[in-house]
Structure 1
């Protein structure tokens, strides 16, 4: 809502010298959202005056354009010569003359310059050049009685008036009017408010015949009429200027007056050309298939839920939204029927969305319009048409329906203080509610208190000797107000709504900021510590953390090559997804990570190592839908248990993806692309952070490459997979060749016990290398575990450092795996013989399980 300060000043006594910014700040204090305070003349500086065209000469140029060489009186001793390309003015017209030295919006500086063979000593402006409209078809011609040559044009146009731009929340629909904003300004500044005052005629039903057949959709319909309107009457400048400042363009006197009254009072009005009406006005729901051509020229097929105004010809207006073209006010209209109705907000809201037809009227009806202002708005409109359009008010005033009832709300005068923590007296409560516009009635009730708890009505102790009604007890009144909210506040329905009104007028900034005492915390749980340690470890190892949306497309399961019975296909489907293309919740972190990888590669980032930790979502084992308990009371324990059982299973996973090189090329040598071993190493980074050790075995699961996939075990339980993705998956998702990935279920990792410092041996180790020849199908991980078990406790560490295969030297179908072994005894210096015995035991175990032999 844009409201000029001068218009507010018509309805509230603004203090002298108060700046527009201070007025905006005052409105903010009472809960309104003032987005900005601006001047309509923003970007305009220098001499801009009213001028009168004394004469002009039309001159046709070589390019076919006709210009006018004008003599313009600008209030100086001599007229100025100005070149103008417009032709919509005549001798004697008042125009806006921008003189040299002025600047127009956009930084357009005006100077005397030679053009079309003349020195143009200024410029004659259009509305668009002044930044006050979009009309550029001709120059701006002023009302002949608006001013005299030399007057300040900005003042004449109302551009020297500051404008408040206020965002109105849905519950404050009454503030979509100058009347409502002025009331708030009066309360905020503590100054008198002046409502719109008119003399309303007696209701007799003679203005125009009206029938309302749907009282639920329209509980009040009012009509007035005027006759003898001058079709050529011009909108007075003050109305046109205020409409322009409020963001509306001037159209014609009748339309402008209805818009002006709507902005002033908050009551939308509609004007029908009486000569084009056929029979009485009827308010009803639309018939199936019924059509209406609205004022924007569109033919709309109406819905049976639409409220319409009809006559004998059919629908002539979409109620509360837009009028029909068949009864539109035209250039020959002399007799007008004015309508002011109170429509059902929900019906109007549905119609706006159904027809995608927002309007200023609908915006107000959706939020609730004051049903008691209709008669005032109609009379105000009639008065303006009579004054400026030469019309005569037609006899009669038609009102059908009584409007909505306004129930009373009981309010304890102590409640505002109790809920807000402010010291708010009963008198303050009454005064603030009356400022809002409420009507008050006081009811007193009595409550007994024990003799040793003698208090006054405010709850304060009283002196001994207070009169009592019976032995051992006394009575004190508890005052309860019976509050009838004003007709323009349909949002006030409960006592807490009234408390909010009192508190906001007292000032939200006065509410004390008191934090509730917080219990001593227990710090992070061990599981939280482990999760943070894993993220830090991956980040320190060079992986970049990303956060992906948990929504996926069903097609990703096919892209991953998942079998039809794979549990990852049984995803939780959203009833109302953010995107129809991604209606499922993820069952793996890889889709989001791989999409991030592909997006980065597409933008030139080719060497990537990304990781993510987060929840995945699996269908509940119960298979039952969650119950939907009501809101009238707390759900029972049984209902809560059913809801919990129906929720998806949500384990926490960690995943890593690689693309490109993990070791970049440089002067030190060539780069090294990521391979499956890097994915396994990422799992080991997590294992070290979680203080566990994974067993690595050969795996075979989509979307990994069957020959380059490792399955990770912890105490015999599979916890995840790592390796190179299948080439078909890489091609399907547009990923770099040989992309690698790893994913673990972190919920399967045990909560680690507090770490214990290792015992450091003071004795030196014995270092021995061991090379074994084994069949090609034997994995290094299995062989490592066998050697570790066979060597016993003297083996401190074992590390694979070489893999070699050569059919000419080793034979076909075998390979050589070389290990670096470290042996150490905790209680003595280990001899080479002791270490050799332990090594031989390890070799014997490998020979027994895999047929391994020492490489010669």
Structure 2
């Protein structure tokens, strides 16, 4: 909301500067977004009175005006404005005047006629985006007076960003009450004395939906002058609030809305029939709005209607069928209270956002309608004449907002704020905010004003007290907290170590949403049904993730579409897995790689990442446990992985994760470029680690024997190594697989594995006979268990 500081200071004028006023409003919860000047800078523009006018001798559209500017000879000014007339007062830029944009006025000739200045429009003074003709100044203005002084343009506009709960500050009166409360000074509310009726004219009103509109105030005014001009002072206040002047009937209702916070509407009485009905829309009804759009209101949309059908969307926008025109002589003024629930969301439903709906959605004072009607009547009569009838009021008291008393306890204030505020100051703050305060033995009973919809609890009252008392006055006490540092078990690998290891191996961490696209998730984890959100942020964030892969692939695809073909990403976070025992939140770590093994460089040839590159990264993670030998990679199938390049990772027979290449069909559906490889590991199955312990180093030399065996293709190297370790005994220290061969000399369906066996004893040197006997036993066991043969 834009607030004119000059207008505000007519209500309340504390002895503070503009900067201090802005700071006060912000600290009281009415955040000031910015301040700006009410008008751009210009110099030497004065009031001029046109005392003579004659045609230009050489231009049909130009006229030569004689303009009195006070204290000097009348000026001869050539003017092309269509509304220039003898007796008119208009802004006059003198020779040497500087207008907005740096335009300087100089003595000149227009079609051969000397011009000693310029008569100005509102646009040329920066007071409007468009204008038709000169800016008329009030009759009786003093020629030669500064236009800035006359229009009080040296004003600051304060733009306040109001929170949705402060609908009471959507009028100057509400802002003024806040400023008066903060500065402990009185404010002068606008007088809205009752206007005595001059006619008996009435128009019937029926509340057919009292829950949506419990109070409706109207008034007939006959004989208004639709050609009357809106006073310049009102036009200026509307302009500074960002509202365009549209004639006296509309300007008065907009002005009262800005002044008191009560939206109003004026109907052409001659276009109404029967009586006003406040009701919900009926099937098949249509309404053309003032902006030219045609709507078909839903059944829960509140309407203002008459005997012929809809007239307006209640609290949002009037209809064209009942709008005031240049021929309107009789009007029906509307001032109603619509409940926030009946208006909220309706304007957006029809693609609208109006000043009226903005206020009604946040809550308008339910006791303000009659006062606003009296104020608008007086303004309209002063501007356009007319004879008013009596106030018409339809009300349903049981549907009006209740104003219950709230108990406020001093000890509760002390507990929440941490300081003692004197009882007298508490009572003063609440009363200045318009609340009724009754003093009881050990507490207060406080009744909020009807304008404050946001105050219903004791905590709300305490919030009001401290924002006026001053947040800066809260004590800065340090809390006394016992800090218990939980022990870090040496038998657990810290999650940070897994992340650090991946970063050291060239991965980059990403953090993605726990909410994912259902279709995207189904492609990557179709066997688990995710938990659907009751109120998702959007359709593509509608379920909880059961895997980290959807977020990783979203990030990968995003980067690939921005010319980043190489990706090495990982994420550590929670998966949300539905089970019979409820939703389980399990910590996981997952990664995805695509593109070349190394960044582009001259040192090594470019090579595309393969399954075993990622397997090495995963093995680096497993090695952090100190029990890498307990992990096995078991060939298995996963719906999202390539059938020939996928493995289930097990620890002592218990599944802890997956590793593999993305299935080509899934890759095409997700639009992943290149061969992508992924892994995912459960941290709960990965964190248990072997405690570090001293281990004696043998002082005797080790012996190495290399063997090459031929086995069936289906037999895994892991199974071969496990067998060797089992039957090698204590002397076998290490088994190294250093070559896998398929090709010439090896039958189809078989492979050759070359292994290095490292043997060593702690008590003596191993003789060749002992080493050969051990190796022969191992070969015999491999032959018996797997049908392995030595490769010659």
- Determine the structure 1 residue equivalent to 2:17: 19
Q: Is the 8 A contact 2:53 2:63 kept in 1?
A: no
Counterpart pick for 1:774 among 704, 711, 719: 711
Q: Does 1:612 align with 2:583?
A: no
Match of residue 759, structure 2, among 804, 818, 823 = 823
Query: Which of residues 541, 555, 565 is equivalent to 1:596?
Result: 555
1:163 paired residue among 149, 154, 157: 157
Using a 3 Å threshold, how does the CA distance of structure 1 residues 581 and 414 change in structure 2: closer, same or farther?
closer
Displacement of 1:827 in angstroms is 4.3
Q: Does 1:377 align with 2:372?
A: yes
Q: State the Cα distance separating 1:47 from its structure 2 match.
A: 4.6
2:512 corresponds, among 527, 533, 548, to 548
Match for residue 734 of structure 2?
Answer: 797
**1:539 Cα offset (Å):** 1.2
Establish whether residue 183 from structure 1 lines up as the match of residue 183 from structure 2: no
1:433-582 correspondence to structure 2 within 5 Å: 433-443=430-440, 478-523=441-486, 526=489, 530-556=494-520, 559=523, 567-568=527-528, 570-581=529-540
1:302-356 CA deviation, whole Å, 9 max, x = no partner? 3333333333333323222222222212112233222222222211225334434
Give SS of 1:649's match.
strand
Give matches, 1:31-42, under 5 Å.
31-41=29-39
User: Where in structure 1 are there 5+ consecutive unaligned residues?
Assistant: 444-477, 622-644
In structure 2, the residue matched to 1:260 is: 255
Given the alignment of the two structures, is residue 269 of structure 1 paired with residue 264 of structure 2, yes or no?
A: yes
CA displacement 1:146-188 (0-9 Å, x = unmatched): 7455543344444321111112222221111100100100111
- Who is 2:394 aligned against? 400
For residue 408 of structure 2, what is the aligned residue in structure 1? 411
The reply on whether 1:747 has 2:684 as its aligned counterpart is: yes
Counterpart in the other structure of 1:448? none
Q: How far apart are 1:239 and its partner, in Å? A: 0.8
- TM-score in terms of structure 2 length: 0.89
2:546 corresponds in structure 1 to 587
Asked whether the equivalents of residues 530 and 690 of structure 1 are also in contact (C-alpha less than 8 Å), the reply is no
Normalising to structure 1: TM-score of the pair?
Answer: 0.83
Distance 1:24 1:850, change over 3 A: same
Q: 1:58 to 1:762 in 2, by over 3 A?
A: farther
Superposition deviation, residue 696 in structure 1: 2.2
Aligned length: 783
Corresponding residue SS for 1:371: coil
Structure 2 unpaired stretches of 5+: none
1:213 corresponds in structure 2 to: 207
The 3 A distance-change label for structure 1 pair 304 and 712 is closer
Q: Distance in 2 between matches of 1:535 and 1:59?
A: 88
Contact 2:274 2:307 in 1 (8 A): yes
Cα pair 1:261 1:267 within 8 Å, conserved: yes
Contact 2:493 2:689 in 1 (8 A): no
Aligned to 1:472: none
Residue 364 of structure 1: aligned partner: 359
Report the CA distance shift for 1:841/1:430 in structure 2 as closer, same or farther (over 3 A): same
Structure 2 residue corresponding to 1:134, chosen from 124, 129, 147:
129
In structure 2, the residue matched to 1:457 is none
Query: In the aligned structure 2, how far is the partner of 1:542 from the partner of 1:28?
Result: 48
Which of the numbers 182, 190, 194 marks the counterpart of 1:200? Answer: 194
Distance apart, 1:32 and its partner CA:
1.6
* Secondary structure of 2:368's aligned partner: helix
Shift of 1:103: 7.0
**Equivalent position SS for 1:613:** strand
The residue aligned with 1:676 is 611
Superposition map of 1:83-162 within 5 A:
87=82, 89-90=84-85, 93-96=88-91, 109-110=103-104, 127-128=122-123, 130-135=125-130, 138-145=132-139, 147-148=141-142, 150-162=144-156
Task: Tell whether the 8 Å contact from 1:556 to 1:591 is kept in structure 2 after alignment.
Answer: yes
1:267 Cα deviation from its structure 2 partner: 1.6
Higher mean Cα deviation, 114-123 or 222-231?
114-123
- Secondary structure at 1:272 match in 2: strand
Tell me the alpha carbon deviations over residues 642-686 of structure 1, each in whole angstroms, 9 at most, x when there is no partner.
Answer: xxx43x233332222111111345433412211110121122122
Answer yes or no: is the 8 Å Cα contact 2:634–2:647 preserved in 1.
yes
Counterpart secondary structure, 1:188:
helix
Residue 253 of structure 1 deviates from its aligned partner by 1.2
Check the 8 A contact 1:198/1:379 in 2, yes or no.
Answer: yes
CA apart distance, 1:850? 2.6
For 1:663, what is the secondary structure of its paired residue? coil
> Counterpart of 1:290 in 2: which secondary structure?
coil
Inter-partner Cα distance in structure 2 for 1:101 and 1:524: 81
RMSD: 3.5
Other structure's SS at 2:278 match: strand
Aligned-partner Cα distance in 1 for 2:64–2:741? 98
Q: Which residue of 2 aligns with 1:691?
A: 626
| Distance verdict in 2 for CA 1:38–1:764, change over 3 Å | farther
Q: CA deviation at 1:769?
A: 3.5
Write the distance in 1 (CA, Å) between the matches of 2:79 and 2:625: 82
Do the aligned partners of residues 78 and 201 (structure 1) sit closer, same or farther apart at CA in structure 2, a change above 3 Å counting? closer
Change (3 A) 1:152 1:801: farther
What's the offset of the Cα at 1:281? 2.7
CA contact (8 A) 1:146 1:156 kept: no
Does the aligned pair in 2 maintain the 1:197–1:376 contact within 8 Å? no
| CA distance in structure 2 between the aligned counterparts of 1:416 and 1:665, rounded to whole angstroms | 66
